[in-house]
Amino acid sequence: MIEVNYAIALGVLLFAVGLYGALRSTNAVRILMCIELMLNAVNLVFVAFARLIAAAGAAGAAGAGSTAGSTAAAGAVGSSGALVASAAVTGQVFAIFVMAVAAAEAAVGLAVILQVVRQRGVVQVDKVNLLRG
Amino acid sequence: MKFLDAFVLFLPTLGFGVLGVVILVSAWMVSHVRRITHAAFFMVLAFTAVAGVFVMLGADFLAATQVLIYVGAIAVMFLFAIMVSDLKELSDNPAGRLTGSEASAAAPGPAGRVAAPWLVLAGLVAVGFAALVLAALGRSGVPAVRIAAAAGAPTTAPIGQALFGPFLVPFEVASVTLLAALVGAIVIAGRESAGPEGAGPKTAGPETAGREKGDAA
């Protein structure tokens, strides 16, 4: 059966492929695309870890619920259960933040590339040497 | 019946394998196809397959967000940026633009060839990343979890409560960041060739020699 660790491995491999593409390309648009792929790989790892932590939290809550039978412990179990519910989606919340940053980065990066293409006529990053001095 | 049950049990494995192969192959093709438009569509394919993996991991809201933001917004933005620029100049392999010695010195690797040093470097980074993840897994001590072992609860409500609870300040910072990026992108891209197109100090480069269109934009 497929375990969540395989999803983490998939994220690592996707990060490597994106990094390789970003390093070997000279086209600025293609580099931006590969950076988006790398951010997506990080998202994948975040979500996989969130799944792991959610499963561990559910198992822990179930264990605590089965062992603690008294009513005094019910409140503690409930509060820890709420904490677990919040911690279970922390990875997904981080993935949402990564998506927001990726969108901002793509917008600004594409605007800069458009302006460079408009003014210099090239999109190859090794030919843009405005700051060479 | 026994075969059918085995097949149903095998389905998540099959789905994950197909999605993983699609993700990796299309991510590889993003940097290896010749046309930049095809690269954008391969990127869309990779994003969609990642959304499928999100579904398998029980992150339904994030899968929908992935499709909406990445496929619906970012990929369309890439395609519009490619569309409004000159496609020939945006291709990695400008066959009709460079000639002679310029072409030999132009790009270290035309599309389709494997650049070995970068591949080795990316492999090293992948090994380091994997070691980091393995160390984190070992320290956390969480047990291995099977994908799609149980139908998870919908995650939309917990994500909303987390965004407006403990993550309220980062959420607002993210929204302000998006607003600033939007304004900045409009300011940068909307500038009507204010730079020195013919008057400013332009370094004498061969890259603007055979270019006559695009100034009117």
Q: Is the dihedral of CA A116, A120, A126, A131 positive or negative?
A: negative
Residue B196 maps to a domain: no
Query: H/E element holding A72?
Result: helix A72-88
Quote the tokens at residue A17.
């492929």
User: Average pLDDT, stretch B187-212?
Assistant: 53
Exposed e or buried b per residue across B134-152, where buried means at least 16 C-beta atoms within 10 angstroms of its C-beta: eeebeeeebeebebbeeeb
CATH of the domain at B46: 1.20.120.1200
pLDDT tens-digit map of B11-60: 878 888 999 999 999 999 998 888 888 999 999 999 999 999 998 888 88
Chain B nearest CA to A78, separation (Å): 15
CB A108 within 8 A of CB B184: yes
CA B152, distance to chain mean position in Å, is 28
Q: How far apart are the first and last CA of chain A?
A: 58
CATH of the domain at A67: 1.10.287.3510
pLDDT band at B101 (very low <50, low <70, confident <90, very high): very low
Domains in chain A, number: 1
CB B98 within 8 A of CB B207: no
Instruction: List the pLDDT tens digit at each of the 133 positions of chain A.
Output: 667 888 888 999 999 999 999 988 888 899 999 999 999 999 999 998 888 888 777 776 665 555 443 333 334 444 444 555 567 788 899 999 999 999 999 999 999 888 888 887 778 888 877 777 6
Domain ranges, residue B166: 152-188
Among B47, B73, B93, the domain-final residue is B93
Residue with tokens 């990564």: A98
Q: In sequence order, what are the residues at sequence separation of 6 or more whose Cβ sits closer than 8 angstroms to the Cβ of residue B193? A: A118, A119, B215, B217
CA B157, distance to chain mean position in Å, is 28
Measured CA to CA in angstroms, residue B20 lies from A10, A13, A42, B29, B83 at distances of 7, 10, 15, 14, 30
Is the Cβ of A82 closer than 8 Å to some Cβ of chain B?
Answer: no
pLDDT of B77 above 50? yes
Q: Is the dihedral of CA A62, A96, B167, B136 positive or negative?
A: positive
CA B139, distance to chain mean position in Å, is 30
Chain B nearest CA to A65, separation (Å): 19
- Chain A residues within an 8 Å CB radius of B163: 93, 96
CB B171 within 8 A of CB B78: no
**Residues within 8 A of A (CB atoms), B 188-217 only:** 188-189, 191, 193, 195, 197, 203, 205, 207-208, 211, 214, 217
Residue with tokens 């599309």: B111
Q: In sequence order, what are the residues at sequence separation of 6 or more whose Cβ sits closer than 8 angstroms to the Cβ of residue B22? A: B45, B46, B49
pLDDT tens-digit map of B159-191: 998 899 889 999 999 999 999 999 999 998 887
Residue A133 maps to a domain: no
Chain B nearest CA to A13, separation (Å): 7
Query: H/E element holding A61?
Result: helix A28-67
Q: Check whether residue B82 and residue B156 sit in a common domain.
A: no
pLDDT band at B87 (very low <50, low <70, confident <90, very high): low
Distance of alpha carbon B40 from alpha carbon B45, whole angstroms = 9
A16 with B126: Cβ contact below 8 A? yes
Residue B139 maps to a domain: no
pLDDT tens-digit map of B57-72: 888 899 999 999 999 9
3-state SS, residue B26: helix
Beta carbons within 10 angstroms of residue B67's beta carbon: 16
pLDDT the model gives residue B199: 42
Domain ranges, residue A70: 4-127
Distance of alpha carbon A52 from alpha carbon A50, whole angstroms = 5
Phi, psi of A124 (to 5 degrees): -75, 130
Residue B111 maps to a domain: no
Beta carbons within 10 angstroms of residue B210's beta carbon: 12
Residue A132 maps to a domain: no
User: Average pLDDT, stretch B90-117?
Assistant: 48
pLDDT tens-digit map of B113-160: 667 788 888 888 888 888 888 887 777 777 777 765 445 678 888 899
Domains in chain B, number: 2
Residue B84 maps to a domain: yes
CB A52 within 8 A of CB B151: no
Q: What is the ipTM of this complex?
A: 0.81
Residue B83 maps to a domain: yes
